[in-house]
Structure 1
């Protein structure tokens, strides 16, 4: 087994800081851009919400499978599943931004208690989707630099955060889907 590559981890940590700041800022900036309102002749990508909700659901399943793989000491399967989970999250993000750049935002139409539940889930989902970025990146870097003990420690935090974001993404979609035009 190779030793921990501290220098490599330090190099990656600089990128983690940059990406943890840039990704939310770019998503927020692009979220505010509506190509149709800017005069571009693009069709709204209304097909995307069920697709990216499905990707969120698949990410949740992949995370659970990866958890069981590592518990059963199937490290290669765990590594492959975690890489797949990261890529599925990237694909989700690209589709999410593409949808919001071509479509008007959908307002939640529920009333009463359900409205408060929806906004609680939505707000915690959004906040934790930003918070989880550095956790995922740090966890991944600690694995690829063979810093397994520190990887395990942060993975115990990253896993439930990421799983919550993936599952609540599906719940938010299911709750707002009746209000899509």
Structure 2
């Protein structure tokens, strides 16, 4: 899959649309679709043709809706006085939702139709993630490299469960099997 920029607005340096080109096995063009992009006065992406994004006065993402500003579904976000995200609610197509609470930096609570799940995190005084305890009680330990990026994650028995490799300047090359936010 290739995504190529179509137009570039030079004055404000923002893409005005994306062109999605999908090629088949024989390298012939299978699908071509353009996605118009819209921005607010602060440069925040407010529409990508699929989702509508609503930002607050501090340019923090407040709401994501399907389609346009009146669309349903998506997600809602709330922040504390320090600008730290404290709430995320995702509205699913089946009418259920998943609520994620971030009351403290080292604690996350997820509430959905299956129940309530608490995850705890341990950081050092440099804000480097050192350990995580999942809702089922499993513990994982993060082993950072000299730059503070995680190279290896081990479980309680010391077995490696995730490995990461990085490109110069920190881009992730490979690794991990889960994403956490």
- Which structure: greater helix fraction? 1
Query: If the TM-score is normalised by the length of the shorter chain, which range does it land in?
Result: under 0.3
User: With structure 2 as the length reference, what TM-score do the two structures score?
Assistant: 0.21
Q: Which has the higher contact order (CA 8 A, sep 6+)?
A: 1
Task: Look at both structures and tell me which one has the larger radius of gyration over its CA atoms.
Answer: 2
